[in-house]
Amino acid sequence: MKATISFLNDWTQTLDGDLVQGGELAVDYDLSRLPARRDTFRGAAVWDILALARFQPDGPGFSLTAKSSPPALLRQCPVLLVA
């Protein structure tokens, strides 16, 4: 089963589907939520957006960054929901 949590540019969040153990979670983060301070140096981005999550109680955590993937790949990043 797959669920998608969306963080929209109007600062709202939506959940489509159910979060279940062993299922998949796609994180859909609109980078325009944080438009300030998008500096570059010699054409390279010198900014990042870091997302952290931990499942309760004492569950596994994960992180994603805008720099670790092109923005098109940051949208709909899959996460496997374990234990």
**Chain segment 37-78, per-residue pLDDT in tens:** 778 889 887 887 777 777 777 767 767 676 655 554 444 455
Look up the domain containing 24 and give its range.
Answer: 2-33+42-80
Task: Judge residue 7's burial from the number of C-beta atoms within 10 Å of its C-beta, 0-12 exposed, 13-18 middle, 19 or more buried.
Answer: middle
Is the pTM higher than 0.85? The answer reads no
Helix spans in the chain (H): 71-74
Residue 79 banded pLDDT, cuts 50, 70, 90: low
How far are the Cα atoms of 6, 17, 24, 55 from residue 31, in angstroms, in the given order?
Answer: 11, 22, 22, 23
Number of domains in the chain: 1
Question: 69 is written with which tokens?
Answer: 């993937």
